[in-house]
Amino acid sequence: YLSGFGSEFSSEDPRKPGALPEGQNSPQRCPYGLYAEQLSGTAFTAPRHENKRSWLYRCKSRWLPFDIPSSPVDFVGGLHTVCGAGDPRSRHGIAIHVFLCNESMKNSAFYNSDGDFLIVPQQGFLKITTEFGMMQVAPNEIAVVQQGMRFTVSVDGPTRTHRSERSGQPKRLPDAGFKIINKYQGTLFVAEQGHSPFDVVAWHGNYVPYKYDLGKFMVINAVLYDHCAKEGGFLPGGASLHSMMTPHGPDD
């Protein structure tokens, strides 16, 4: 059981100490040969304070990678749809594809009327020629080709690439700035800035936030402190508390 609503949690099998990576989410080699997987409850376009995700480290991968074909296949012919949601006809949806190719597109171009492409190479380099110019995209880089833009893809060998397709509003990065909320005369005002407000390196003074442990506070008529214990309690006629000018009764 982990307490704390809306907090960050972590858990680890006690039989595999150190299975949870420290200081990183998706290392190149996870401990014990585990597979890193991110479970996302929100779109990557959601504001960061609304981002819901968890990293899971599994013994086995969700599925095996697609094999690169031995026969000639280009960018369009090697498309495999893995999953999706919504419907491009309603202009609201998403699809995840994997494509594998080993030859360049020849005398042909492609464009997507359903949405934008987010292209993430895993293996091999892509040379994407668009109406706006050329992009060379390598692993650890991403490229976005938006709706209606014609392009062709050239490769220099076997290539495996992941591709996200989103219908509707164009892709955008989440807001990386800070939102400063001020309560003034009973009304909330919002200002945005592009850096963290917690950038103080040193300070001195006496106007500071503070905390206090209420467990150390003795309320009126309490016997938490400064009151000797009686092993057998007080006998009849005795009293643990007495008002001013009222004598204490016998203790034995």
Q: Which of 80, 227, 242, 248 is catalytic?
A: 227
Residues in a beta bridge with 184? 187
Displacement of CA 59 from its chain's centroid (Å): 22
CA distance 102 to 163: 17
Handedness of CA 79, 83, 89, 91 (dihedral sign): negative
Active-site residue 97, yes or no? no
CA distance 165 to 94: 6
The residues, any chain, with a CB within 8 Å of residue 81's CB and separated by 6 or more, are 95, 96, 97
Displacement of CA 82 from its chain's centroid (Å): 22
Element (H, E) at 224: none
Active site residues: 227
